Amino acid sequence: MSTAAVGVGSHHDAHAHGGSQSWIKRNILSTDHKVIGLNYMYTGIFFFIIAGLFAEVMRLNLAQPGSKVVSPDVYNQLSTIHGSAMIFLFTIPMLVGGFGNFLMPLMIGAGDVAFPKLNLASYLFFPPAGIILFAGFLFGGAAQAGWTSYAPISTQTPLGMTHDYGQICWLLGVILAGVSSTMTAINFLVTIINMRAKGMSFHRMPLFIWAMLVTVILTLAVTPALAGALTLQLLQIIFGIPFFDWRKGGNVLLWQHMFWFYSHPAVYIMILPGMGIVSEIIPIFSRKPIFGYKAIAYSSAAIGLLAFLVWAHHMFTSGVQSWLEIYFMIATMIIAVPTGIKVFSWVATLFEGNVVLDAPLLFALGFVSTFTVGGITGIFLASVPVDLQEHGSYFLVAHLHYVLFGGSVFAIFAGIYMWWPKMTGKMLNEKLSKLHFWLMFISFNVTFMPMHVIGLLGMPRRVADYDPQFGSWNLFISFAAFVLGASFLVFFYNAAVSLARGQKAPANPWGGRSLEWTVPSPPGHGNIAVEPYVTAGPYEFNHPAAWFGPSESKSADEAHHA
Ligand code: HEM
Ligand SMILES: [Cu+2]
């Protein structure tokens, strides 16, 4: 695949060749993977802010028993849209559409993705998906059935209405988000398989690329199940076809099976790219080759395979046959093995390394520690008797935020701090970055750790009001949640100052070894001046000699591998 060999100017020089193009053409309708990646990020962070504000309103309502900041109906709408937006409009598009788009072609030494126009189309589906999901608030109230949208709650019509328009908006929004991520997945799969630089065998791919490869295969395999489920529910709500109505011969559990056949793998769609980000950061900031490259790469593949086989662990309380429960319980516990292999490899990489505690590593360590807590409570919940007891309690809210926030969101910010210089050409203020980390890390744990306790004490999840005995716990949690929300202000301030008058970023501020660090910050249009030729793996710090370069300089090392 030929890579466009345009000069390595800055982002703005790059657009000089299209100087006559309008602002919209350059910044919104561009087919450059870097512009598209950044647009995914801006859009994702916009939805993150709204969904985060919804969470703060919920916490305000929960601060005291009996408070009426919002009605129970509105509480349900806020929590449904908070969860759905965090998953479908922030975490997945941010990691795959955002980081995947910006980094993947650069890391494999390609000029762009395989199908740049398809890539733009994928992005253009994303903002409307979000707008439609939120539009429910304008049509008599947004969806209220939780982000899992279980029938029969989701298929009921609110009193006095012909249809549940909020639920219809939810379904249409999620369908559009699914179309968008399916197109991206096809594009990335072709790009990773066909467009890697010469010499970059599978075993020389950066671990982020391995993670992305497994992620897009998962996406392609399971999103059709979700699309099917969503379409059936839409047909039931609009035309009354009783797919999930047991009174008319439907099957109410069918929704749960189809939904979780997608949504359990989606948990890995949200965590594998994060693990990839962390696998890039830890060796660079330990000044050591990664420990267990193949172990990490293959454990991503193992997680990808096992992810298909455990979905009904979400349905223990719904009445699954007991012999199936035993199977799903054991299979779920087995997934902890490849995950543990990764955690072990990261810790072994840090061990006796020259550890530099800059912001990217801090956030990566935040990821490893909090994700491990979430993983451990996940093993508790995999056990059928424990799940029967805790599934409906705040213990589950604690678990899922440790995985999704402590896991994915910490990894997203690790990635932002790591590649901000590459993406913007500017450095961030390191002191403010560290301040953001400590504020976020401490207030995250203070917010969500006590939720384990109130869950075990019996506070149910998905409630707008609760027994007064939990009052002081909830006041404490709400207070911490406001600090957590405020911690992001430090980031936005830091980002604004950096963009306005930040120090100029060099091509390789951290001493990275993968190909994106060989091009200027930000990279020019077409990415690379010379087609790279890869002669070693990406983490070989023992080989200080450059392992990439013009394709003529095929090294002796490469002759052996070829
Ligand atoms: C400031 C940060 C956050 C706070 C204070 C917060 C708070 C909450 C609250 C109060 C609920 C409702 C719990 C209930 O009524 O049972 C909730 C639900 C949920 N949150 Fe968050 N959240 C935050 C960030 C996140 C993030 C970053 C994600 C994902 C990336 C996320 C995903 C979810 C999901 C999926 C649910 C639905 C849980 C269910 O199925 O019952 N949240 N959150
Ligand atoms: Cu699951």
pLDDT (0 to 100) of residue 398: 98
Average pLDDT over residues 245-264: 95
Residue 66 located in a structural domain: yes
In a domain, 220, yes or no: yes
Distance CA 147, CA 40 (A): 22
In a domain, 200, yes or no: yes
Using CA atoms of 515, 518, 522, 526 in order, give the dihedral in degrees to the nearest 10: -70
Q: Residue 460 falls within a domain, yes or no?
A: yes
Question: What's the one-letter identity of residue 150?
Answer: Y
pLDDT per residue as tens digits for the range 102-117: 999 999 999 999 999 9
In a domain, residue 4? The reply is no
Band (pLDDT 50/70/90 cuts) for residue 13 is very low
Name the band, by pLDDT with cuts 50, 70 and 90, for residue 541.
Answer: low
Q: Is 217 among the domain residues? A: yes
Q: What residues does 393 pair with on adjacent strands? A: 460
Q: What is the mean pLDDT of residues 403-432?
A: 98
Amino acid 19: pLDDT = 58
Q: Are 533 and 554 in contact (CB under 8 A)?
A: yes
Which residue type sits at 393? S
Q: What is the rounded average pLDDT of the residues 155-165?
A: 88
Ligand 1 atom closest to the Cα of residue 91 is 30
Which stretches of 116-206 are DSSP H helices? 116-135, 165-194
Determine the average pLDDT of the residues in 251-270: 96
Distance CA 241, CA 359 (A): 53
- In the block, tokens 């650069």 appear at 106
At residue 525, the pLDDT reads: 84
Q: Which of 86, 149, 483 to mutate to test the pocket of ligand 1 (most atoms within 8 A of CB)?
A: 86
pLDDT per position as a tens digit, 169-216: 999 999 999 999 999 999 999 999 999 999 999 999 999 999 999 999
Question: Which of 95, 400, 448 to mutate to test ligand 1, by most ligand atoms within 8 A of the CB atom?
Answer: 400
Shortest-distance atom of ligand 1 to CA 90: 30
Residues with a CB atom less than 6 Å from ligand 1: 52, 55, 58-59, 79, 82-83, 86-87, 91, 146-148, 397, 400-401, 404-405, 408-409, 447, 461-462, 481, 484-485
Residue 199 token pair: 């010499």
Q: Within a domain: residue 46?
A: yes
Q: How many domains does the chain have?
A: 1
Q: Which structural domain, as residue segments, surrounds residue 318? A: 11-561
Residue 544 has pLDDT above 80, yes or no: no
Tell me the C-alpha to C-alpha distance, in Å, between residue 285 and each of 69, 120, 201: 46, 34, 25
* Residue with CA nearest ligand 1 atom 37: 83
Residue 42 belongs to domain with CATH number: 1.20.210.10
Asked whether residue 298 is domain-assigned, the answer is yes
Question: Is the pLDDT confidence value at 151 over 70?
Answer: yes
| Residue 550 pLDDT grade (very low, low, confident, very high; cuts 50, 70, 90) | very low
pLDDT average, residue stretch 346-374: 96
Quote the CA–CA distance of 66 and 50 in Å, as a whole number: 25
As a whole number, the mean pLDDT across the chain is 91
Kindly state the average pLDDT of the residues 133-162: 93
Task: Evaluate if residue 3 carries a pLDDT over 80.
Answer: no
